[in-house]
A and B are shown apart, each in its own frame.
Chain A
C-alpha cells in the first residue's frame, strides 16, 4: 500500500539524514563516542558473563559494571549534550573536573572490587 511504502521511504530517508548529520560532527567527538560505545560494550559483556557463570561474588560484578557505566557517563556527557551545553565553564576547568571525578570513581571501584 501507499501508506507502508511511504513509511518505508520515510524510514530510509530518516536513516540517511541521521547518518549524514552524524558524519558532520567533528572527529574529536566521534572518537569520544567510540570510547563511550566501547565502555558500554564492555559492560554488556560483563552482564552476559554473569548470566552464564552466576553472580558470585556480587560486589565484583557490581563494581565492574558500574565502572564501565560510570566512565561512559562521564565521557559521554560532553558529546551527548553538545546542542545544549552551556559554555560557561572554561575547558581546562571542565577537564580538571573530569579527571577528579574519574579518580574518585576508580578509587571507589578498586575498594569495592574485593
Chain B
C-alpha cells in the first residue's frame, strides 16, 4: 500500500489517495465494530464471574420454564400449551398470553447448536442470550447512526450503547427477559425505517415490516414504534417534507405491519381494535389525503387549484366533522376510551395509583428519581442537548426522527423508571452525534492549523473519511439546486457514496475552513478533555455493571469482618419443596414468588407475577391479612397445602413480605371490603411492635413471619424494622411449621387438615365457634365477610 503523498490538484492521485484512505477506514471500522461487540458481551459477564451462571430475578424464571418446555416438546405443543400448574384453579393459556419472541429465539439458538453437536444446555443458552443480543444491538445502533450522520457518529454511538448502564441493567448475563432481544429489535426496526426513508426502496420497507414483526413478538413496548413512526410522518408532512420516499416508508409498514402484528396471538385483534394503534391508521388516511392533494396540485394550474381547494374545503369539512363526531362517540363510550391500563398510566401518570393498585405496586412502574438519570445514562445526560442541536445542522428526515425519538423517550422515561431503557438508545445516538461532531471540529482545526491554509488538496487528503463526506456534501448542498421546488434540501436525497470526481469550488471551501478553525491550543486541550470525559464514562459503566446491576437477587451476599456471607435461602426453600412435598401439592405465597416456585420447585401455585387476575391476587392478599381461622378457610377452599412466607427480620433483608404487606391489604381491600386499611395502621403507619393494632398482631402474615422468632435472640428484635416485635409468645392453631431456611429468610407452613370430629353438639352454629383462636370480630362492622 503506497504511503499517502501530498500532491497538487492531480485528480487521479487524489482519487487513489481517497480510495486508499477509505479502504483503510473501512477495515478499521470493521475491527472497531468487532471490538465493540466483544466489549458489549464481556461487560455483561460480571454476575457469571462473581456468582455463577444462574438465571436472575423473577420474570426470567418464567421465560426459562417456557423455553424448557419448548425445547422438550417442540413448537406445536408450545403454541397450544395450557398451563395448569399456575393460577390454580384457573390455569393460564401460555400460547396466547406470552410474547413468544424471546423464547423462540433462545429455543432456535439451542436447537441450532445442538444440531451442530455443540451440547449446550437450555440454561446456558438462556443465560447468555442477553449479552449476545446486546452486541447485535450495538451494531444496529452503528447502522442507524451511520444513516443519520455518518460513520464516525455511528461508531461513537455504538461504543456508547455497548456500555450504557441502563441497558446493562436489563441485559446482564442471566437476565433472561423480553428486553434483552426487544431493544435490538427496536433499534433495528428504526434503522430499517430510516434506511427506507433515505433510499425510497420498497425492499427496505419489506424488511422494516419483518423487523417490526419481530419486535411485536418480543415486547409489549412495540406500541412505542407504532406511535412514534406516525408521529414522525405527521411531523414531516407538517414541515413540508412530504415526498414519495416518505410514502414508501410508511404506507407498506402500516398494512403489512398491522397484518403481521395481528398474527401474534397475544396481540391478535388488538392490532386493529385498541386505541394504541389508531394513530397509525389516522396518519395512514392523512398521508393518502396529502398525496392526493400533491397529485392534484401537480396536474392543475394554480388558479384551478385554488378553486379546487375552496370547493373541497367547504364540502369536505362538513363530512369530516360528521365522521369525527361519530368516531369520538364510539371511542368515548368505552370507559377507558379504548386504551389498556398500562398505556393509560403512561399518558396520565396518576391513573394507576388511583384505579389499579396492582400496576401502582410494581416497583418498576414508579417514576424515576433525578439521581437515577445520572446513574443510568451518566455523561450522556448532558451530551444529549448538544446532539439535538447537531441534528438541526442540517435538518434532514432522519435527524428530525432522532430528535422526535429522544423527546418522546425522555417524557416516557420520566413516567416509569422501567422505560429508561427506551431512552438509552436515543441518548446514545444523540450523544454519539454530538461527540463525533465535536471531534471533527477539533481535529479539523488542529490539522488546519498545523498544515496551514496553503493547499486545499492537502487538507482534503488529510481529513478523515466521515468529515470528507460531510464537508463535501455540505458544499454540494449549498451549490446544487434541487430538482423540484417542493423538496427541502436534504442531504440524503442522493446516494451517499464518496463523490470523488466532483470538485466543489475550492474558494468557498477554503473560506469556510478558515472561519471554522479554532486556535491550536484550545483544540488540543478540548480534545484531551473530551477523551477524559469518555474515560469517566467508561469507569462509571464498568463500576455500575460490576457492583450495581450484577446481583442475581436469588443469591445474596454480604461482607462482614469475618468474610463473605452467602445467603442462598431461596434456592434452599425451593429445593426443600421439590424434594419433600407431593407433585400435586399447591403452594400459596405472594405473587412475587410465583414464577420462581413453578420453575425451581415445580409445584402448582395460586398466583404468580403475571398478575392478570386481580381478584385472585386479592383473595390471597385477604387471606394473608385475615386472622388464622379465616385465612385457613380461604386457603382450604383453594386446595392449598403449603404457605410460603419471606421474612427478612433475622438478617436484615428489606424486601420481605412484611414490608410488602401494605400492598396485600390495599389489593385485598380493593376487592373485599371487609379488609379496611385503617384497621392495620397506628398513626398512619404499619407497625409490628407493641404499638401495633390488634388486627395487625393477629393477622396471618404477622403470625407466620414471627412464629418462634423470639427463640433466636430472646428479645425478638426485627433487624429490618429496627424494633422488638409486639406479640412474642403465641402458638399457631391452624398451621404448622414445615420448614425454615438457614437464615430464616423463607418459612414454609403446612395447613393442618380439618378436624374429623367436632367436639360438642354437631349444630352448624356450634361448629362456627369451635375451640380455636377466636377471630377478633371487628365490632360494628357492617360488611359481610364472604369467607365466613
Q: A14-B308, A80-B247, A111-B263 are in contact. List 15 more A-B contacts (CB 8 A).
A: A11-B311, A17-B300, A18-B300, A66-B259, A70-B256, A73-B251, A77-B248, A81-B247, A81-B291, A83-B484, A84-B294, A86-B244, A97-B203, A105-B256, A112-B259
Looking at A7, A58, A73, the one whose CB has the most chain B CB atoms below 10 A away is A73
Is B533 in the interface zone, CB < 8 Å from A?
no
Is B299 in the interface zone, CB < 8 Å from A?
yes
Digitize A62-106: 1 where CB-to-B-CB distance is under 8 Å, 0 elsewhere: 110010011001100100111111101100011011101100110
A86 close to B295 (CB less than 8 A): no
* B191 → A minimal CB distance (Å): 18
Q: Which of B252, B297, B311 contacts A70 (CB 8 A)?
A: B252
Given A11-B311, A22-B299: A108 and B247 interface contact (C-beta under 8 Å): no
Q: Which of A83, A104, A105, A112 contacts B262 (CB 8 A)?
A: A112
Minimum-distance CB pairs A-B, first 10: A83-B298, A97-B202, A21-B299, A81-B244, A70-B255, A97-B203, A10-B307, A101-B206, A17-B304, A73-B251
B244 close to A85 (CB less than 8 A): yes
Is A34 in the interface zone, CB < 8 Å from B?
no
Is B169 in the interface zone, CB < 8 Å from A?
no
Given A69-B255, A104-B256: A11 and B247 interface contact (C-beta under 8 Å): no
Is B367 in the interface zone, CB < 8 Å from A?
no
Given the complex of chains A and B, what is the CA–CA distance between A63 and B251 in angstroms? Answer: 16
Per the CB 8 Å criterion, the residue count for chain A at the interface is 43
Q: Which of B259, B294, B299 contacts A63 (CB 8 A)?
A: B259
* A61 → B minimal CB distance (Å): 10
Chain A residues near B493 (CB, 8 Å)?
A: 86, 88
Instruction: Give chain B's interface residues, CB within 8 Å of chain A.
Output: 199-203, 205-206, 209-210, 242-245, 247-248, 251-252, 255-256, 258-260, 262-263, 269, 272, 291-292, 294-301, 304, 307-308, 311, 483-484, 486-487, 493-495
Given A77-B244, A101-B205, A108-B256: A58 and B291 interface contact (C-beta under 8 Å): no
Given A14-B308, A17-B300: A84 and B243 interface contact (C-beta under 8 Å): yes
Given the complex of chains A and B, what is the CA–CA distance between A5 and B292 in angstroms? Answer: 27
Q: Which of B251, B260, B292, B296 contacts A108 (CB 8 A)?
A: B260
User: A interface, by DSSP: helix, strand, loop or mixed?
Assistant: helix
Instruction: Give chain A's interface residues, CB within 8 Å of chain B.
Output: 7, 10-11, 13-14, 17-18, 21-22, 24-25, 58-59, 62-63, 66, 69-70, 73-74, 77, 80-86, 88-89, 93-94, 96-98, 100-101, 104-105, 108-109, 111-112
Given the complex of chains A and B, what is the CA–CA distance between A77 and B206 in angstroms? Answer: 15
B263 close to A88 (CB less than 8 A): no
8 of the cross-chain contacts (CB-CB < 8 Å) are A13-B304, A24-B299, A62-B259, A83-B299, A97-B201, A101-B202, A101-B205, A105-B259
B259 close to A73 (CB less than 8 A): no
Chain A residues near B209 (CB, 8 Å)?
A: 104
Chain A residues near B205 (CB, 8 Å)?
A: 97, 101
B251 close to A77 (CB less than 8 A): yes
B200 close to A88 (CB less than 8 A): yes
A80 close to B259 (CB less than 8 A): no
* B446 → A minimal CB distance (Å): 37
Chain B residues near A25 (CB, 8 Å)?
A: 299
Residue of B nearest to A68 (CB): B255
Q: Which of B210, B248, B301 contacts A104 (CB 8 A)?
A: B210
Given the complex of chains A and B, what is the CA–CA distance between A84 and B259 in angstroms? Answer: 28
Q: Which of B243, B272, B307 contacts A86 (CB 8 A)?
A: B243
Looking at A14, A24, A88, A105, the one whose CB has the most chain B CB atoms below 10 A away is A14
* A41 → B minimal CB distance (Å): 16
Given the complex of chains A and B, what is the CA–CA distance between A98 and B248 in angstroms? Answer: 11
Residue of A nearest to B486 (CB): A84
Given A17-B300, A81-B291, A81-B295: A98 and B484 interface contact (C-beta under 8 Å): no
Q: Which of B248, B272, B307, B484 contacts A11 (CB 8 A)?
A: B307
A100 close to B262 (CB less than 8 A): no
Given the complex of chains A and B, what is the CA–CA distance between A111 and B256 in angstroms? Answer: 13
Looking at A10, A22, A82, the one whose CB has the most chain B CB atoms below 10 A away is A10
Given the complex of chains A and B, what is the CA–CA distance between A98 and B256 in angstroms? Answer: 13
* A111 → B minimal CB distance (Å): 7
Given the complex of chains A and B, what is the CA–CA distance between A70 and B284 in angstroms? Answer: 12
Q: Which of A10, A17, A66, A98 contacts B255 (CB 8 A)?
A: A66
Given the complex of chains A and B, what is the CA–CA distance between A14 and B262 in angstroms? Answer: 43
Chain A residues near B200 (CB, 8 Å)?
A: 86, 88-89
Q: Which of A18, A22, A83, A100 contacts B294 (CB 8 A)?
A: A83
Residue of A nearest to B483 (CB): A86
A105 close to B255 (CB less than 8 A): yes
Chain A residues near B255 (CB, 8 Å)?
A: 66, 69-70, 73, 105
Given the complex of chains A and B, what is the CA–CA distance between A62 and B277 in angstroms? Answer: 15
Given the complex of chains A and B, what is the CA–CA distance between A11 and B260 in angstroms? Answer: 44
